[in-house]
Chains A and B, each alone.
Chain A
Amino acid sequence: MVIQGLAFYLFALMTVASGAMVITARNPVHSVLFLILAFFNSAALFLLMGAEFVAFILIIVYVGAVAVLFLFVVMMLDIDFARLREGFLNYLPIGALVGLILLVELLLVLGAWAILPESELRVTAPAPEAASGLTNTEALGNLIYTEYVYAFQVAGLVLLVAMIGAIVLTLRSRPVRRQRIADQVNRRPEDVLVVRKVDPGEGI
């Protein structure tokens, strides 16, 4: 129990710390690497709660795919930080105002937030075994594909629309010669080759 508590505080602290580093690191590549660290620590928090399926899906989807693409794009950026900071002072008052308003709003919302005393105890305890003996992968599957099947399908549709949108926005037909492998495979020697007997001294 002690070790689980310690592990919880370690991972929670690391998550918050690396989250802070994401927005303060000067180098954007370092920011992405800290973001990955934050993902890892939140996955570890899920594991502590006994939600192993969610933890690994978090790593596979966010760290294994999304963050790779982030890194891919960010690595190729050539950011001039001196130019970015040029208008910094001009925008400082209005930025500070927006930040202040957000902070006050957050305080108002969170200040009125009451947490059940029992749930505070559960923070460090793993989820109890389901009475039916289901693993949490099966339990999740049962919920998603029965009660929440419409929500699940709508989420899928939204992603599909986003995907089509991205393709429509970026697809241009350029005048480039493309390799068509089917054409190459279908090409027969008799269509393109003529074998002729050339008499000496005459040519074709």
Chain B
Amino acid sequence: MDFWSVYAWPTILIVLSILAIVVPIILSVAYLTLAERKIMGAMQLRQGPMVVGPFGLLQPIADGVKLMAKETIVPSGANRVVFIVAPMLTFFLALVAWAVIPFDDGWVLADINVGILYLFAISSLGVYGIVMAGWASNSRYAFLGGLRSAAQMVSYEVSIGFIIITVLLCVGSLNLSDIVRAQEDLWFFIPLFPMFVIFFVSTVAETNRLPFDLPEGESELAGGFMVEYSAMTYALFFLGEYANMILMSGMTTVLFLGGWLPPFDFAPFTWIPGVVWFALKVAACLFVFIWIRATFPRYRYDQLMRLGWKVFLPLSLLWIVVTAGALIAFDWLPE
């Protein structure tokens, strides 16, 4: 009896709620790939996938089955263990971060005190999957991709960290639900607009998306760190990258776009449940990710580094000082 109430039931409950988070995320990853191809098709006056199922709706499933049915090839010169672990790590990290994201008021798996630090820690670990893959493949292209990714992600993390500090100054708590609640009157993207823009661009760089996809750079590195991967190992990288995009959009939503809060606090808007607002905002961010991809050419590597270290870093540092000064001067400090 004691065993059931103390150990077994909580474990079962946690496993069920993890499934309730992970399954929708994997589904949305699958359909994000379809959405990306459809949106980019529309932007380039094409149709996008349209053959498999109505409007191509079954295309992600067909892709998934294809990737699972293929043979996994491990190069003979590769470091086997690290080679296999790297994609698993990427995918694992992209999913494990969702534990602290609040989908609605109280809809969060682990409502920990230092939620934003947890998110920051997990997102800064994402580089290991790529670096390990690049090194273990024992190939020049993959290695160059890994090195590029290491330098790029470390640079952009610094400015992301500063932006998080700016938001924290306005909230006074590291808990993600508290961060959303602090935006009840005004979403943070209005007072902190420059930080919002920098944060979004940094998340694009952090997820290795175009125009910052130099670790993959298919035109110069032939696919970069993924060049030796095939079948399921490749699929895990792919899923991890898209799950990371959704995660970063979720982070933007929580930090700047008011999480589950409706845009206006009166009748027709408050009828819609918070989780729908959350999903809508995440979808809007994802659309911008794809829009950027379809619009901009790839950065040159030195331009990327210049943007991170010489533009974003000083700006975000300055904005911390400005925010802190304003909070003290006008007595707006949260308590």
- A-side residues, CB < 8 A to B, are 3, 29, 33, 36, 52-53, 56-57, 59-60, 63-65, 68-69, 71-72, 75-76, 135-137, 179, 181
User: Which residues in chain B, 216-241, are within 8 Å of chain A measured between CB atoms?
Assistant: none
Pick the contact of A36 from B117, B128, B135 — CB < 8 Å? B128
Least CB distance from A159 to B in Å reads 14
Least CB distance from B320 to A in Å reads 15
Q: Give per-residue flags for B144-157: 1 if the beta carbon is below 8 A from chain A beta carbons, else 0.
A: 00110011011001
Given known contacts A60-B120, A75-B135, A75-B147, A65 and B114 CB-to-CB distance under 8 angstroms: no
Interface centre among A52, A57, A59, A68, by most chain B C-beta atoms within 10 angstroms, is A68
A56 and B114 within 8 A (CB): yes
Q: In the bound complex, how far is the Cα of B125 from the Cα of A32, in angstroms?
A: 14
B112 close to chain A: CB less than 8 A: yes
**8 further contact pairs, Cβ within 8 A, besides A56-B117, A64-B127:** A56-B114, A59-B121, A60-B121, A63-B124, A68-B128, A69-B150, A69-B154, A76-B147
In the bound complex, residues from chain A placing their C-beta under 8 Å from that of B143 are 75
In the bound complex, residues from chain A placing their C-beta under 8 Å from that of B125 are 59, 63-64
CB-nearest residue of chain B to A36 = B128
Given known contacts A65-B154, A68-B154, A75-B131, A56 and B146 CB-to-CB distance under 8 angstroms: no
B18 close to chain A: CB less than 8 A: no
Contact count A vs B, C-beta below 8 Å:
68
Least CB distance from A47 to B in Å reads 10
Q: In the bound complex, how far is the Cα of B120 from the Cα of A33, in angstroms?
A: 20
Pick the contact of A65 from B82, B124, B135 — CB < 8 Å? B124
User: Which residues in chain B, 52-86, are within 8 Å of chain A measured between CB atoms?
Assistant: 82
Interface centre among A29, A36, A60, by most chain B C-beta atoms within 10 angstroms, is A60
Pick the contact of A52 from B113, B132, B154 — CB < 8 Å? B113
B180 close to chain A: CB less than 8 A: no
Q: Secondary structure of the A side of the interface?
A: helix
In the bound complex, residues from chain B placing their C-beta under 8 Å from that of A59 are 121, 124-125
Q: In the bound complex, how far is the Cα of B151 from the Cα of A76, in angstroms?
A: 13
B118 and A56 within 8 A (CB): yes
Pick the contact of A68 from B7, B114, B127 — CB < 8 Å? B127
Contacts A/B (CB < 8 Å), 5 sampled:
A33-B82, A56-B114, A68-B153, A72-B131, A75-B146
Interface centre among A53, A69, A71, by most chain B C-beta atoms within 10 angstroms, is A71
Q: In the bound complex, how far is the Cα of B302 from the Cα of A36, in angstroms?
A: 29
A64 and B157 within 8 A (CB): yes
Interface centre among A52, A56, A137, by most chain B C-beta atoms within 10 angstroms, is A56
Q: In the bound complex, how far is the Cα of B125 from the Cα of A65, in angstroms?
A: 9
Least CB distance from A3 to B in Å reads 8
CB-nearest residue of chain B to A52 = B114
In the bound complex, residues from chain B placing their C-beta under 8 Å from that of A56 are 114, 117-118, 120-121
B210 close to chain A: CB less than 8 A: no
In the bound complex, residues from chain B placing their C-beta under 8 Å from that of A52 are 112-114, 117
Least CB distance from A56 to B in Å reads 4
